Amino acid sequence: MTANDIRQLAPKALWQNFYSLTQVPRPSHKKEEIGAFLENFGKSLGLETLRDEIGNVLIRKPATVGMENCKSVVLQAHMDMVPQKNSGVAHDFQTDPIDAYIDGDWVTAHDTTLGADNGIGLAAAMSIMQSTNIPHPAIEMFITVDEETGMFGAFGLQPNFLQGDILINMDSEDEGELYVGCAGGIDADITFRYSEVEIEEGDVALKISLTGLKGGHSGVDIHLQRANANKLMFRFLKEAVSDFEARLASIDGGSLRNAIPREAFAVITVPEEGVDDIIDFVKDCEELFIEEFKGVEDKISFTVDQIDLPCGLIPEEAQDDLINAVTACPNGVMRFIPELPSVVETSNNLAIIKSDGKSIILRSLIRSSVESRKEELASMVQSTFSLAGAKVDLVGGYPGWKPNLESPILKEMSKVYENKYGKTPKVMIIHAGLECGILGTHYPKMDMISFGPTIRYPHSPDEKVNIASVEKFWDFLLATLENTPLK
């Protein structure tokens, strides 16, 4: 089926708006085009439309007849998407539309992220604003910029920009679940400085490539215990250096702080007579990785190719310090919430490692729903790399969202869901970061909740959204708005 087919799915208005969003390039930090698109959308409907200094878009729509005395609602989503693609795919997220298509019960994209995170929530808000026959209270559609790279839109929100009583965030990824809390996070920005040294005479260069990993969202998918390409690559590098006289020339692993790294590439040099041994070792590592991650990863590829000699090498001391620090760095789930043993409390994602001939840049995203444990894990990461001689900056910290199980909107939506579907929705805390925690610092009296359709493998080229769950999400949203409590 073609991309156009998604516009025929139900609810048609939502899917047509989602299709329109796939045609507008909107990776994080490319906000002008999508911001202008949303601003024009609001103005074309004759609605009050505002755009703040950092690019957040706000569209206001009056209540329908008979609902003027209900509490006002903010429908909140973010406009950016995570730009991830499979290696070798000719797709430019700065200019190219997303090639979305129907695959059985799901909508997905060809070899790239789909942008259902958070395009489905955004499309739902747009459809409410367009509607002429949906009962609703006064609505504010509030769309933030650059959520995926640091929640900059939420952080930059000014007081009094929003007027609503209730905020419904539509950025969760499991239908039938209502989210009332989330983890906070902080980035560790790590830098090693070096000057390249000469390659030893008689050495040859090899490119080591680790590909085919699933990756995924470093909050939503971290509990799945998927392979981290950076950690696996450095397992190989440590032994290659110690046992095969390898030297590291460059490293390129991962691309986004909030995505589990799916690929890593290293250029090494070895004595010419040792090439066959390295080839055999790479094959052994591939077999080992496949065996270790059986049932979790099914497409691991670890290969070696001889290439031209690079300009120089990372100095041996810096190389060894880097390898030891990456090997020692904690990664993955550190702790589950004792009261909710299926929910991750604290984790780290060693997301990015890149060299450029002068420096090695690493980035790690630490998450926890307990502020003190977030600080503890950040300190562990900081100490690991500081002892190795790197400069470590802890930046971009954002608060978690403390659950309020007495929330009026939680009680109302739970009742609506039970009446509509005959079962009680799950009340959840998500390990990923939601903007509610930050927005709550600006608007502490606002009643907040988050829900959404079922999305799998966000932040990876395997991202997909379940079609039936989108229709259910939409119907639940309409029922929620129709039953908004009085002021």
> Known catalytic residues?
80, 147
What three-state secondary structure class fits 330? coil
> Is the Cα torsion angle 445, 62, 169, 186 positive or negative in sign?
negative
Q: Where are the beta strands (DSSP E) in 254-407?
A: 264-271, 301-307, 332-337, 340-355, 359-368, 391-398
Residues with Cβ within 8 Å of residue 283, at least 6 apart in sequence: 302
DSSP 345-387: EEEEEEEEEEE-SSEEEEEEEEEESSHHHHHHHHHHHHHHHHH
The Cβ-side half-sphere exposure at 310, using a 13 Å CA radius, reads 23
How far, in Å, CA of 374 to CA of 367, rounded?
A: 6
Torsion of CA 324, 329, 332, 336, to 10 degrees: 140
Surface-to-core class of residue 322, CB atoms within 10 Å of its CB (0-12 exposed, 13-18 middle, 19+ buried): buried
The position carrying tokens 């090695």 is 360
Token pair of 462 as six digits: 């395997």
Backbone dihedral angles phi then psi of residue 341, each to the nearest 5 degrees: -65, -10
In the chain, % helix, strand, coil (3-state, to 5) comes to 30, 30, 40
Helix H or strand E segment including 427: strand 426-430
Q: Do the beta carbons of residue 42 and residue 97 sit within 8 Å? A: no
The position carrying tokens 């995924």 is 216
For residues 112-143, b (16+ Cβ closer than 10 Å) or e, as one string? Answer: bbbbbbbbbbbbbbbbbbbbeebbbbbbbbbb
Strand order in the sheet with 464-466: 100-103, 106-109, 464-466, 455-456
**Single-letter residue type at 340:** L
